[in-house]
Structure 1
Amino acid sequence: MANNGGNTFVAEFPNAAAVFKNSYAGITQPPPTSQPTTTKATVSPTRVARGQTFNVTGSVTPSSARTVVVKYEIRNAGNSALVTDRACTAQVITAGQTRSYMSAFVIPTSLGAGTYRVDTLVYTADWSQTLLYRNDTTFTAN
């Protein structure tokens, strides 16, 4: 028995181990897929009143077929504090397909009037990788 932590495969089957190593030695990771693209998120109505519902709309277009999570975050533009967020999970999109997303939000009246920001994020289906992050739309809440 080889002294390798209890794994005797290499010692007992050296030919099989060599074939396995040779078979998989040249395999490399596939190249990363390119980022999806998004449109700039829009806020409607354009005059947002705290305590009232408003909508955030945008679209996502991937360069390759994939399943993604599309998330919108509303942040205080002054200090980047997260106010609220919405996620559309398990979104299956084919390569080149543009999908639109709309989410309803409310700025609580307990928060001050001022400038807020919409961040658009796209994640892999398991949330393990951020494919796109964009903080591009500011608006004023009265």
Structure 2
Amino acid sequence: SGRPPTLRTAIETALADAGLAPGDIDAVFADGAGLPADDRVEAEALTDVFGPSGVPVTVPKTMTGRLYSGAASLDVATALLAVRDGVVPPTVNVEPGSTPELDLVLEARPADLRSVLVLARGHGGFNAALVVRAPGTAEGER
């Protein structure tokens, strides 16, 4: 389309603001719009930044449906609870192998979550990325 890859830019900016490298992120809470073209763009941005299967990816909205303006705040709350509880929640109602380039979490996965990335996207080109850290994790520390 000739437009810059804004989701990738949002991810890279969030990592830079947090003083982290892609390898410091323990999980990604993806937007998962449920639209094939949009989901493909998101998968490509994640693969560009983290590499193929480079980080566990979950899509909380698969459990609730799209909440529109409330979606991002629910994803942040889900990420905070995941960090607290040490578990990546599953992505449900997807075909296994539908995104082979991603480590899509299909069953709850115990994990030591110190730094996670939450993505949000909206119609019209809105793209946001936020790093959530465990309490006591200093800037630039995984």
Q: Would you call these one fold, judging by a TM-score over 0.5?
A: no
Q: TM-score, normalised by structure 2?
A: 0.24
The structure with the larger Rg is: 1
Q: TM-score, normalised by structure 1?
A: 0.24
Which of structures 1 and 2 has the larger relative contact order (alpha carbons within 8 angstroms, sep 6+)? 2
